[in-house]
Amino acid sequence: MHGFFEGLARTFAKLGGYVLAVLIILTCLSIVGRSFNTILNGDIIQSVSPGLAGVLLSWGIGPIKGDFELVEAGMAFAIFSFLPLCQLNGAHASVDIFTSKFPLRANRLLRAIIEVVFAAVLILIAWQLFEGMQTKRNAGETSYYLEFPIWWAYAASLIPAIVAALVSIYVATMRLVESATGERVLPPELEADH
């Protein structure tokens, strides 16, 4: 069972990584285009070679239209895509100044409670994304520049949010089993200690 959830979480983390890489390239190209557009519209180029500047500007050299809309939608997808792997590996940052002094059984119980709360929160987030998607779809709301339906971004984020919720339910269940039996069920977590 753990292998299935790990494969699912890694698949979504890879998808999120690919989307993030595309967004980085998109942002860089948009910044370069904006810079060239500024230079081509500048007084120096306009006085030296207005014809060349006009030709280059007519080709559409400039920022990528709607880049921030694409980045906004893509970042939401990427963040939700990384959540399942983070949840599965227990890679959330934690501060255990007080809990490090607790006995192992108390720490297991506390960890199980925290995972149940995480699962509840991720289920709530997925549900709210679904509700938001329905609201945006019914309203027919579109983005300003690209005019794509806003609900598409919600739908894209909803899929990894549901996966994150499913993974968190699995992790919470396994942590409850660990707390009840005293035996380790999940592999050692990779969480960052501070």
pLDDT of the residue at 194: 42
Domain regions of the chain by residue span: 2-181
Residue type, 26: L
- Predicted local confidence at residue 79, as pLDDT: 95
pLDDT in tens, 59-104: 988 899 999 999 999 999 999 999 999 999 887 777 777 777 788 8
pLDDT band per the 50, 70, 90 thresholds, residue 118: very high
- Number of H helices and E strands in the chain, helices first, is 6, 0
Q: Burial, 44: exposed, middle or buried (Cβ in 10 Å; 0-12, 13-18, 19+)? A: exposed
